[in-house]
Amino acid sequence: MKPWLGLSVASLAAVLAGCGSETPEAEIRSLVAAAEEAAEARDTGFFRDLIAPGYVDRKGQHRDDLIDLLRAHFLVNRDLEILNRIEDIRLSGDEAAEVVLQTAMIGRDGAGPGFGLDGAIYRIELELVKTGGQWHLIGADWNRILD
């Protein structure tokens, strides 16, 4: 775990279980940090739990399409480094939010030191709803802004 994330396993469990007394914005910030860790660990199960069954994005992809895209990315990149910077969190009450972030990703296919290295920066917009005490992703849009 990266020290600058400042996210303990206990606080992550509390946020995901809805047991914490954090504000919705703090819960979302913790969730973004947890998603960063899960992506670096190539943990498809985390995203299966995060993405709502009714997920549809602006590209017309559904939940299974997004999970397949993540799985393919994890298979191609044996090593991932991700850094998220939240630009904005817009809350609609305590149970809906739109999140805008920039994400820098560097992946390496494992072919050896210095080989197969790829990186990019994305602008990502997320639509989240809180159901059953947990935040779920119901929509997203992303664009590569820098190679």
Task: Give pLDDT tens digits for 14-33.
Answer: 444 444 569 999 999 999 99
User: Cα–Cα distance between 23 and 42 in angstroms, integer?
Assistant: 28
Give the least confident one: 11-15, 21-25, 40-44, 48-52.
Answer: 11-15
What secondary structure letter does DSSP report for 132? T
Mean pLDDT of 89-108: 96
Strand residues in the chain grouped as ranges (E): 79-91, 96-108, 117-131, 134-146
pLDDT at 111 over 90: no
- The domain limits of the chain are 3-146
Q: Do 37 and 120 meet the contact criterion of CB atoms below 8 Å apart?
A: no
CATH class label, 3-146? alpha beta
Asked if 27 and 15 count as a contact pair (C-beta separation under 8 A), the reply is yes
**Helix pair angle (9-17, 24-40), 10° resolution:** 120
